[in-house]
Structure formats: structure tokens, C-alpha cells
Amino acid sequence: MYIPVTFDGGIQRNEAIEIKVRNFKDLNLQERHIEEFLRKNINLLFGDDQTLLVVGQQVRNASNGISDLTAIDADGNIVLIEIKRDVQDIKARKEPFEFQAIRYAASYAKISTPESLVELVYSSYIEIHKDEYELGDLTPSEKARRELNKFLSSNDALKTFNKKQRIILIASSFDEQTLSAVAWLIANGVDALCLNITPVFMGEQGFLRIEKILPPAQLDDFYVGLAGEGSTIKEEIISTDSGFNRTWLPRMDQLFEWELIKAGDSIEIKEFESSEAIIIDDTLVRFNGEEISYNNWGKKVTGWSSISIYEWAMLSSIKKTLHELRMEKMAELEEAKASQGEKVQNEEVG
């Protein structure tokens, strides 16, 4: 996956453009720069399919260890996100990258209630970044409590709060020892993930290349999914709220092709008032006079760091989510395909 980063410049027709892979050191970017960028744009790692609320940054535990970013997912799991620039930075540490993350995750395992998370982590986060919140007469602690309870209740995750912890390791390159250790953790039931993020330039246009290194892909990740006769379903592997799990589902452009949604349709975020937007195309909506992406619209409405837009966006006219619409269409295609198969079989028998 490539995520564009805003730089000046462009590509002209018939112009030869050099594609160059860079590194963060060459760009004079420190780990803190990457951390801050991801804090504000965590949705870029997961696209439109992960619902997350960032609740902590540079959190210190009882042993004086400091974790990079902390989030909550839609299942109520605490997500620990640790960042290094590259393999050199990983090797330079006295403590192994994955062991550092395990220690922090173990600290978070002791948090048993949302109130504890607010007290120990989230209220301090809002205090540090209070210019990003509309506090009104609320204290950071009160705001944190409201935001977290709203997030957990909206996602029906109050009863499953912090039943497990997830680990996400991010770097532009990993050493074999780290990957070996993480592969062993995954094989033994630990919810861990390694992501490569690499700066890539096409002329003056910058991109972030995002690649999942672990868990590894399975053979059936590459199988073509459901398609009705004559259909041109465009599919890709997407993530779910328990991590980068495998599933094949049509994306926004296919919903347009199926005419399940179209330009001019009214769309809203379920359970959130004053969230109505107007669909422009398969990438943008108009919300409060602004043309923005579906995910950024969802983030503005909910206040969450990332949102699984297919699960939360619904057509105002029929009150069905985009996920419900695409699943109904796929079931319809499957039924038509089965009926066609039965018809052919009957003709052959006849």
C-alpha cells in the first residue's frame, strides 16, 4: 500500500520520473517525527477497515520504560504501537525490540477497567494535546472518561475491555532476530504484527510504502473471491478489528459499479447525530461544505483516530451500512450463480 505525502511538484506527460526509495535518516527524520506523524494519521496504516482510538503517547510504566503509542481497538483491546526508524536503530538498543514491546504489553495487561486507563494513560494524553480537543468546562480527565466510554459503548466493547493486548512493531527495516521472535510469538497465540513503512519518491512526490511483514500471507490470500457471471469485482485483502486478518470484500469503487451507492446520495455515521454527508465519488464526500475522504469524515464525526468506514457509514434513505449492502449483494450474486449452476446441470441431465 502506498500513501501519498504532500510535497510540491508533479508529473508531466512523457516526462521520465525517477522512483527512489529513501530512508528516514536521509530525510533528517527522527523516531519522534515518525511517532508524531503516526499519532495524527494512524488510519493510514489500516485504511478504512480498522477502528482505533489513540489514548496514549510516551507512556511511562512502573519500571521507567516508555512506550511510543497506545490505542484501543473496536474489541476493547489495548494496542501497543512501538516504532523504530530502521534495523540499525533496532540493533543499537540494549533491549530487543520485541522484548521491549512485550514488557509494555504486560504492564497494560494489569489495567482492568476503563477508569484505570483514563487515570493512568488517557487523561495525561488529552492534557498534553488539549489544543486538539474541545474541552469546554471539562477537565482532561472528564473528557477522557467521556470519549473512552463513548468509544467502547458505540463498539459494544465495554464487556470485552482489555481482554487481551495487541502489539504492533513499525520500522522501515527489521533484523532477522526480531522477525524470528515475533513469528514465534504469533505461532503461540500472541496478537503481534510487524509493519514496514518506507519513504518512496516519484520525482518530488513523496509516498509512504506500507507493507505487512508478519503475520505471513497464506496461499488462499491470493485466491480470487466471489464473483457473479460477468461481474468485475475488484477485491483486496483488508484488515479487521482484531488485526490484519484475511478477508476478501468489495471496496468503494465496486459499490459504485453495482450502483449500491452513487454521487448525490446522503450518507451518515450510525449512532452519531449531525453526521450527514453527500457522496461525491468513491473517494470523497462533502461534509459541512468541505470535500474530504470517507475516513477523514468518519474521524471528524466520531473523534476517533481511525474508523472502519464500511461498518459505520450507512445510506440515510434505507439505514443500511455499506457493509450490509455489499454483503447482501454478494449473497445475491452467490444465489444467482448457484441457480445458474443448477440450470446448467438440469439441462445436461435432460
Determine the pLDDT at residue 61: 81
Summarised one tens digit per residue, pLDDT across range 222-243 is 554 444 444 444 444 333 333 4
Residues in the chain predicted with pLDDT less than 70, given as ranges, are 1-17, 218-248, 343-350
Label the pairing between strands 235-237 and 192-202. Answer: unpaired
Question: What are the DSSP E strand ranges found in the chain?
Answer: 2-5, 19-21, 52-60, 66-73, 78-83, 165-171, 192-202, 205-214, 235-237, 248-250, 266-269, 277-279, 284-287, 290-293, 313-315, 320-321
Summarised one tens digit per residue, pLDDT across range 138-151 is 999 999 999 999 99
For every residue of 197-262, DSSP letters joined together read: EEEEEETTEEEEEEEEEESPPPGGGGS-----TT----EEE--BTTBS---EEE-HHHHHHTTSS-
Identify whether the C-beta of residue 88 lies closer than 8 Å to the C-beta of residue 76. no
| Separation in Å, CA 213 to CA 165, 168, 172 | 20, 11, 11
**Structure-block grid coordinates of residue 15:** 516526462
Identify whether the C-beta of residue 54 lies closer than 8 Å to the C-beta of residue 69. yes
Identify whether the C-beta of residue 211 lies closer than 8 Å to the C-beta of residue 204. no
pTM beyond cutoff 0.75: yes
Angle between helices 176-187 and 97-108 (to 10 degrees): 40
Per 3-state DSSP, what percentage of the chain is helix, strand, and coil (rounded to 5)? 35, 25, 40
Summarised one tens digit per residue, pLDDT across range 281-304 is 999 999 999 999 999 999 999 999
Determine the pLDDT at residue 221: 54
